[in-house]
Amino acid sequence: MRQLSRNTKYARRSALFMGALGLTTCIAPKLWPPRYTAGTGVAYAQQSITAAPATVAEAITHAQVLLDANDRTSIAAFQDAAQRSLVALFAVTGPDIITAPPTAMPTDRFTINLIRQAEQSHYGWGLAAKHFGGMFARDASITAFCRAARLAGILRADDPTLVRDALLELSGALQEGLPDYAPDDTMDTIATVAHGNLWQPYRFSFDYSRLAQEPPGPAATVALTSTATANEQAPQKQEFLITSGKVFPPFMPSAIEQGVTLSRIPPLYRKVPIPNLPPVLQLDKMIVGYERETDGPNRGLWHKVVNVFYASPYLTREKRDDRPRAEALCTQFLKLHTLALSELGLENLYMRNQNGGPNNGVTNLWLSEVSAWWPQDDDDPAVQDALGTRMPLPNTPVVLNGKKMVQSDIRNTPLWHPWGVAMTDVDEINTVHIATTPGALPNPASTITTPATNGVTPNTIPLPTRNLPDEAQSGAGAGQIDSAKGEIMFFKMTEARPESEWLRELTHEYGHVILPPFNGFRPPLEPYGNGLVGETLGMLWAASMPDQFAAQLPPNLEEAKDAGAAATTLATDLDTHVKENAIASLRFWNAHGPGSPLRSDGTQDGLEYLQGLTVYLERVYGIHLLSATLKPLAERSAPTLDNLHPVVDNGETLNAAALLESSSNALREAFANGQKTLPIWLPGALELPSDKLNTTDFIARAPLALTANTRYPGWLEVPPTAATLHIEWKTTAPNTAANAAATLQVEGGWRSQATTATTPGTTNATVIDINGRQGWQRFAFTPSANLTVVSAWFERSTSVAARALQTTSHSNGS
């Protein structure tokens, strides 16, 4: 068979991999590769092989004949033979044989024959997938060659060429990087056999069950769309794997043109000649992050989600090791990705495979030692003196060597001073850092000449003149690049940051990647508000489970010993961020309401209004409503191969007005799937004194204590088909006469009256007739005694008492 398979030189093709888990997963769970498509988009079924051979040996011979005849059905034939061979082998040895070392394997002739058949069928499967290509074929060939190499090791004594051949093919398949999809045994074999234990597959899980997805309400749950229903039923636990150790960037044909083969240049600097780049920008190490697929045809497989590129200690200043930070960012990104996808249904739509093909959902993070001001060295005292202690605000036009520039994406939070991110060329970002032509300048007083460092020609650069109001600017931070949308770059790794700042930068930039491009904001603001929105939501969700978002490092790393103290500090910082951002912006929005002209405003107030509206929708109506609101806007602005910025290029403005319109559309579907109730968190909709809403209660959507004889106004959007608003509450001391007669007076709706409480722990309930009053409505609530609002919900079908209430109120014309 080997001789026949080598009569043809197989062309290397760009390939993808897709399909179903195959048969007998009960025998070997999480071991079967997907049924991958050979370029047709339809998985081959076993029935596609006519007159299936009776034995595994015959199946292998049959598949080889097809391959020698250049018949693409040989892929399905070899895959069928491989699966049948494993079923037979596992029946004797168990599934551990494809992960155990060769020395632990049985050596009797019967088992050896089964092993040989499994090795031959997998090797042939890998060759067929490599030859014909098609959807995800490279991943299929990697899995096939991994198993062939592992099994060939057991047969080394009989035929040492088997291991050599399988490893050569596996090495070739891995030249383009680790697989996009792979079972557990493939990842283990790559780490131990192909890469010689340079890295280990570090597996861990993320439990996000503490995230308060929906407001408390009656037992019936709400699902706004079929997607929301699926999300609601999905388990709130996700498994991850990262490549902990030394992983080198994959080979790329374009790397030869750049003059590098074992490193990657961040996209911001790819047009800079290699001799002009400092070595530390030639990133020669990476961490790869995977998530376990929990449903669909690839259920149980690892799916690549993120690459983190960084420089090795041989290149960094003072031989600093950036691997712990790269691994920490990788784990945090995986968790953010899970929350965004499972709760909002959103992911990175900008990222495509290396050949410009369809989206493969992998996000690249770049860790850079240099600041965003490179080639200026902002650690140079002469540069610092010339720059001064204050730097320009974001999105501020300046002139650099005669070209119009903007200082993009400085952000400021209570946790950390503002970071300056890249100087962005209005025409093309990648030309920014090639400004090497000295010459006369129109304003010599505002220029600086930088010395030649790291092989960079001296530059004479006009300095920006706009100033920040308070704090110093360091050139560190995180940002994105217009010509490489969807990729995130962290600048100046030497700058110390608390864990909360790393997470804040990550949530902010990922917001730019996945959320609709809310635009129209004028200098000195960021042009897009989705970064701030993503940061606000991400930090709010992380605050509900700070231990899960602490830097989760493999225990073999020295830095993992300090994880406990860092987690405590992170929890405090997250609470601070929620107080200063989510709660503050919600108060701002509640004070202005849905009809404010700020809904279309491009100033700081307009940005805070957008931020507060997003928090309002998420806290008051829940994550599912927010998902149903954001997804249509994200789909409308999704990039295509022809247009990365369809909203902007079409002259559209996505702002708070667009978000309000989309939320109204989402509410029309509130009861579309037969739900009777739509729970809301009433405290989030009320204008409250500062002492009435602490961070802990806000994060947990806790019940709210109201003070007697105090009026609490607020805005609620009533779904079109809602008939009543149901509020359940309890008094603080029900045995007193005053509390026994307590009432909750309501302004808004047709009429309200007391009804029977149903929520555990409540003592009273009020039902408000809102039939026919859809859209935004102003309500106010005044308790006659101190009481606590426990739950609230809109209800589509009404009780007998509520129907009587509607009849009475309507007949009275109230």
DSSP state of 141: H
Helix, strand, coil percent content, the chain, rounded in steps of 5: 40, 15, 40
Give the residue among 328, 333, 302, 314 at the shortest CA–CA distance from 262: 314
Which burial class, exposed, middle or buried, applies to 213 when counting CB atoms under 10 A from its CB (0-12, 13-18, 19+)? buried
Task: Please state, in angstroms and rounded to a whole number, the distance separating the CA atoms of residues 341 and 123.
Answer: 36
CA distances from 183 to 115, 427, 528 (A): 19, 44, 39
Task: Please state, in angstroms and rounded to a whole number, the distance separating the CA atoms of residues 351 and 562.
Answer: 34
Task: Please state, in angstroms and rounded to a whole number, the distance separating the CA atoms of residues 629 and 615.
Answer: 12
pLDDT at 102: 67
* 466 pLDDT more than 70: no
* 800 pLDDT more than 50: no
Length of the chain: 814
Question: Backbone phi, then psi, for 306, in 5-degree steps?
Answer: -150, 145
CA dihedral 584, 585, 591, 592 (to 10 degrees): 160
Task: Please state, in angstroms and rounded to a whole number, the distance separating the CA atoms of residues 88 and 94.
Answer: 10
Task: Please state, in angstroms and rounded to a whole number, the distance separating the CA atoms of residues 504 and 419.
Answer: 12
Q: Is residue 705 within a helix (H) or strand (E), and if so which, with residue range?
A: strand 704-706
The token pair that represents 228 in the structure block:
């929301």
In Å, how far from its chain's centre is CA 338?
6
Task: Please state, in angstroms and rounded to a whole number, the distance separating the CA atoms of residues 183 and 523.
Answer: 49
CB atoms within 10 A of CB 491: 28
Radius of gyration of the chain (CA): 30
Q: Between the ranges 7-11, 135-139, 545-549, 551-555, where is the mean pLDDT highest?
A: 545-549
What's the N-to-C CA distance of the chain in angstroms? Answer: 88
pLDDT, mean of residues 594-618: 97
pLDDT at 480: 63
What SS3 state is found at 402?
A: coil
Q: Between the ranges 413-427, 495-509, 591-605, where is the mean pLDDT highest?
A: 591-605
Contact 773, 718 (CB under 8 A): yes
CB atoms within 10 A of CB 714: 21
CB atoms within 10 A of CB 262: 12
pLDDT at 757: 81
- pLDDT bucket at 286, cuts 50 / 70 / 90: very high
Give the chain's domains with CATH numbers: 1-191 (no CATH), 677-811 (2.60.120)
Lowest mean pLDDT among 215-219, 324-328, 376-380, 432-436: 432-436
HSE (CB half, 13 Å, CA atoms) of 69? 11
pLDDT at 622: 95
HSE (CB half, 13 Å, CA atoms) of 465? 8
Task: Please state, in angstroms and rounded to a whole number, the distance separating the CA atoms of residues 437 and 434.
Answer: 9
Place of tokens 């000649």: 273
Contact 751, 694 (CB under 8 A): no
Burial 538-568, CB ≥16 within 10 A → b, else e: bbbbbbbbbebbbbbbbeebebbeebeebbe
The token pair that represents 23 in the structure block:
């048969």
CA dihedral 226, 229, 235, 241 (to 10 degrees): 30
What SS3 state is found at 38?
A: coil
pLDDT at 135: 67
- Bridge pairing between strands 411-413 and 363-367: unpaired
pLDDT, mean of residues 490-513: 89
Task: Please state, in angstroms and rounded to a whole number, the distance separating the CA atoms of residues 366 and 353.
Answer: 17
- pLDDT over 90 for what percent of the chain? 46
Q: What is the pLDDT of residues 23-51, one digit of tens each?
A: 233 333 344 444 333 322 223 233 333 44
pLDDT, mean of residues 619-644: 86
What angle is formed at CA 330 by the lines to CA 326 and CA 332, rounded to 5 degrees? 120
CA distances from 556 to 244, 248, 545, 692, 731 (A): 10, 20, 24, 45, 53
Place of tokens 């968790």: 335
The token pair that represents 395 in the structure block:
């999105």
Q: Is residue 291 within a helix (H) or strand (E), and if so which, with residue range?
A: strand 285-292
Q: pTM higher than 0.85 for the full model? A: no
pLDDT at 571: 92
Q: What is the pLDDT of residues 50-69, one digit of tens each?
A: 444 678 999 999 999 999 99
Task: Please state, in angstroms and rounded to a whole number, the distance separating the CA atoms of residues 408 and 393.
Answer: 8
Backbone φ/ψ region at 761: left (φ over 0), alpha (ψ -120 to 50), beta: left
Task: Please state, in angstroms and rounded to a whole number, the distance separating the CA atoms of residues 467 and 460.
Answer: 21
pLDDT at 465: 28
- Summary count for the chain: helices (H), strands (E): 23, 24
pLDDT, mean of residues 2-19: 32
Contact 323, 283 (CB under 8 A): no
HSE (CB half, 13 Å, CA atoms) of 750? 23
Task: Please state, in angstroms and rounded to a whole number, the distance separating the CA atoms of residues 679 and 796.
Answer: 11
pLDDT at 221: 42
What angle is formed at CA 3 by the lines to CA 2 and CA 9, rounded to 5 degrees? 95
Q: Is residue 3 within a helix (H) or strand (E), and if so which, with residue range?
A: helix 2-5
* 731 pLDDT more than 80: yes
Task: Please state, in angstroms and rounded to a whole number, the distance separating the CA atoms of residues 760 and 218.
Answer: 10
- pLDDT over 70 for what percent of the chain? 68
- Bridge pairing between strands 787-795 and 488-491: unpaired
Lowest mean pLDDT among 327-336, 353-362, 410-419, 543-552: 410-419
What angle is formed at CA 159 by the lines to CA 154 and CA 161, rounded to 5 degrees? 100
pLDDT at 317: 87
- pLDDT bucket at 99, cuts 50 / 70 / 90: confident
Amino acid occupying residue 246:
K
- Bridge pairing between strands 459-462 and 447-450: antiparallel
Task: Please state, in angstroms and rounded to a whole number, the distance separating the CA atoms of residues 306 and 337.
Answer: 9
Q: Is residue 406 within a helix (H) or strand (E), and if so which, with residue range?
A: strand 403-407
Q: What is the pLDDT of residues 209-266, one digit of tens each?
A: 988 888 987 744 444 443 444 334 456 899 999 999 999 998 765 555 555 667 888 8
